[in-house]
């Protein structure tokens, strides 16, 4: 379990008299604010580690999860995964407001913060023993390879399926962890029980729902449209869990990638093959090279046949 447990749709915010916004989410015990600060569940300000990360407590875990402020903010407030990207403020005069943030690649951020002026200055005053001093160009290339070494080239032959970890309670509320769903479902069950007592005494559905609200409190819009459906739903918690994966379901019928041709060369295993993102990117790169080579082979085969026909 990691930051994937955070569903930004469940994040709530408060604004103090100075205009500072504080965000909280039921999946984590910490809160963050628009000044770029992190606080623990007791309101104490958290300090960064030597690596520039904070120890975040994910509900359901008994240990801290290290994460940068940008990673926490992007998941809790923006609802995006940074992956090989980072966050950049459009204006330094404004804090971490959603409208003031933009997602840029880590490489772009590195280049923006790098000073390449060399007149009268040595780029890297500290020499490394044995190894030759690196140039800025070499550093950039190494950074790009480190940050994103799995870029897919050419045609994309697979579909990426995002991870799903949602647990739906009887009132239609969706939670990122089973523990949170169980906690909420217990309140829903009690609320429904109280509401049923009202109905048994001919109190009506309007009054029954108001009694239900005494047990179940929604900080946002209620997740259902008809209270009767909540009362009639006795399925308990419905979980929909799926790991992030890729499937090679986009293979076409050209350049040696038809099912018949792939089977002929013992490569039919790739058809509808499920695998991880990293595996998919490597296989996809190889498939593109294979497809290109097969296409050239077909062209040369046709050319050779035409040439042989000219010889009588």
Q: What CA–CA distance (Å, rounded) separates 30 from 273?
A: 40
CA distances from 307 to 94, 294, 296, 298 (A): 71, 20, 16, 14
Kindly give, in sequence order, each residue whose CB lies less than 8 Å from that of residue 57, ignoring residues fewer than 6 positions away: 28, 29, 30, 40, 41, 64, 65
Mean pLDDT rounded to a whole number for the chain = 80
Dig out the tokens for 171 from the structure: 């009132």
Residue 254 in 3-state DSSP? coil
Residue 170: the pLDDT is 95
Tell me the per-residue pLDDT of 57-73, one tens digit each, with 9 for 90 and over: 888 766 677 888 998 99
Q: What CA–CA distance (Å, rounded) separates 111 from 88?
A: 13
Query: Which residue from 249, 212, 246, 247 is spatially nearest to 228, judged by alpha carbons?
Result: 212
Within 10 Å of residue 83's Cβ, how many Cβ atoms? 13
Residue 132: the pLDDT is 41
Largest CA distance in the chain: 102
Tell me the per-residue pLDDT of 119-132, one tens digit each, with 9 for 90 and over: 444 333 343 443 44
Residue 39: which H helix or E strand, with range?
A: strand 38-39
- pLDDT band for 111, please (50, 70, 90 cuts): low
Query: Which residue from 278, 288, 258 is spatially nearest to 157, judged by alpha carbons?
Result: 288
Q: What is the per-residue burial (b if ≥16 Cβ within 10 Å, else e) of 41-69?
A: eeeeebeeeeeebbbbbbbeeeeebebbb
- pLDDT band for 118, please (50, 70, 90 cuts): very low
Kindly give, in sequence order, each residue whose CB lies less than 8 Å from that of residue 41, ignoring residues fewer than 6 positions away: 29, 30, 57
Average pLDDT over residues 21-29: 90
Dig out the tokens for 99 from the structure: 């409208």
pTM here?
Answer: 0.39
Tell me the per-residue pLDDT of 172-223, one tens digit each, with 9 for 90 and over: 999 988 899 999 999 999 999 999 999 999 989 999 999 999 999 988 889 9
Residue 161: the pLDDT is 86
Instruction: Determine which of 90-104, 171-185, 244-258, 274-288 has the lowest per-residue pLDDT on average.
Output: 244-258
Residue 147: the pLDDT is 39
pLDDT at residue 264 above 70?
A: yes
């Amino acid at each position: 379990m990691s930051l994937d447990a955070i569903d930004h749709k469940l994040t709530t915010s408060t604004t103090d008299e100075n205009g500072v916004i504080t965000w909280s989410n039921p999946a984590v015990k910490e809160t963050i604010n628009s000044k770029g600060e992190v606080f623990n569940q007791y309101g104490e300000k958290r300090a960064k580690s030597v690596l520039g990360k904070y120890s975040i407590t994910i509900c359901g875990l008994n240990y801290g999860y290290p994460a940068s402020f940008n990673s926490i903010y992007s998941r809790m407030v923006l609802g995006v995964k940074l992956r090989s990207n980072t966050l950049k403020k459009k204006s330094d005069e404004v804090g971490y407001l959603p409208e003031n943030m933009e997602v840029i690649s880590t490489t772009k951020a590195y280049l923006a913060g790098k000073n390449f002026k060399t007149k009268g200055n040595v780029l890297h005053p500290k020499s490394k023993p044995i190894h030759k001093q690196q140039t800025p160009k070499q550093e950039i290339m190494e950074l790009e390879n480190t940050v994103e070494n799995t870029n897919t080239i050419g045609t994309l032959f697979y579909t990426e399926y995002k991870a799903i970890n949602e647990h739906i309670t009887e009132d239609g509320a969706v939670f990122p962890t089973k523990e949170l769903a169980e906690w909420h479902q217990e309140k829903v069950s009690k609320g429904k029980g109280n509401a049923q007592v009202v109905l048994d005494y001919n109190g009506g559905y309007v009054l029954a729902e108001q009694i239900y609200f005494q047990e179940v409190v929604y900080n946002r819009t209620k997740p259902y449209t008809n209270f009767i459906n909540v009362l009639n739903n006795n399925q308990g918690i419905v979980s929909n869990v799926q790991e992030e994966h890729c499937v090679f379901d986009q293979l076409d019928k050209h350049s040696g990638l038809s099912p018949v041709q792939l089977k002929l060369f013992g490569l039919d295993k790739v058809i509808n093959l499920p695998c991880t993102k990293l595996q998919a990117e490597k296989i996809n790169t190889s498939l593109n090279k294979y497809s290109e080579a097969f296409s050239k082979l077909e062209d040369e085969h046709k050319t050779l046949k035409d040439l042989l026909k000219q010889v009588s």
